[in-house]
Amino acid sequence: MRKFSLLDHNSVPKHEIIQENEVKSLLDKYQIEKGQLPKIKQSDPVIKELGASVGDIAKITRNSQTAGESLYYRLVIDD
């Protein structure tokens, strides 16, 4: 059993699974289907730790020198 969380690592940006309503507003905002989002494998260490299931959408908050914070979304897929 691992005794630390990957999410605490300085170089790992914040990952979170977003709720249904947020998913809807995201898809509405970009006028896309879920399949048009960038993907992330379920076996990705961070996703494994979050315990996300296939079809969930991970919101990734990255630090940016120019934008302060930048948001990225990934659809969790089977591997």
Partner 1 sequence: MDKNMPSIPKRIGAIKFGLISPREIRKMSVTAVITADTYDDDGYPIDMGLMDLRLGVIDPGLKCKTCSSRAGECPGHFGHIELVAPVIHVGFNKMIRKTLRAICPKCSRLMLDAAKKADSLEQLAKLKKMGHLPNSHINEIYKEAAKTKTCPYCYDADGNPTKKTVIKFEKPVEYIENGDKLTPSEIRDRFENIPDEDVRVFGMDPDNARPEWMILTVLPVPPVTVRPSITLESGQRSEDDLTHKLVDIIRINQRFQENRDAGAPQLIIEDLWELLQYHVTTFFDNEVSGVPPARHRSGRPLKTLSQRLKGKEGRFRGSLSGKRVNFSARTVISPDPNLSINEVGVPLPIAKQMTIPVRIIERNIDLMRMYVARGKETYPGANYVIRVDERRIKVTDLNCEELAEKLEVGSTVERQLIDGDIVLFNRQPSLHKMSIMAHNIKVLPNKTFRLNPCVCPPYNADFDGDEMNMHVLQTEESRAEAKILMQVQENILSPRFGGPIIGGIHDHISGMFLLTRNEKFISKNGALELLRKADIRELPEPAGHNEDGAPYWNGKQIFSQILPKGLELEFPAKVCFQCETCKKGDCENDAYVVIKDGELIKGTIDENGIGAFKGLVLDKVVKEYGTTVGAKFIDDVTRLAIRGVMRTGLSFGIADEDVPPEAKIEINDVMDKAVEEVQDLIKAYEAKELEQLPGRTLAETIEMLIMQKLGKARDSTGQIAGNHLGLENSAVIMAKSGARGSMLNLTQMAACVGQQAVRGERIKRGYSQRTLPHFAKGDLAADAHGFVKASYKSGLNPTEYFFHAIGGREGLVDTAVRTSQSGYLQRRLVNALQDLEVQYDRSVRETRGVIVQFKYGEDGIDSTKSDYSKPEAVHRIVRAVTGKEVN
Using CB under 8 A, list all residues that contact partner 1.
Answer: 29-30, 32, 35-38, 62, 64-67, 70-73, 79
* Distance between CA atoms of residues 79 and 20, nearest Å: 23
Nearest residue (CB) to partner 1, 5 versus 43: 43
Nearest residue (CB) to partner 1, 5 versus 64: 64
Bridge partners, residue 16, by sequence: 59
Q: How far is the CB of 3 from partner 1 (least distance, A)?
A: 33
The two three-digit tokens of residue 57, written as one number: 């959408």
Bridge partners, residue 59, by sequence: 16, 73
Nearest residue (CB) to partner 1, 8 versus 78: 78
Q: How far is the CB of 4 from partner 1 (least distance, A)?
A: 28
Q: How far is the CB of 45 from partner 1 (least distance, A)?
A: 19
DSSP string computed for 23-44: HHHHHHHHT--GGGS-EEETTS
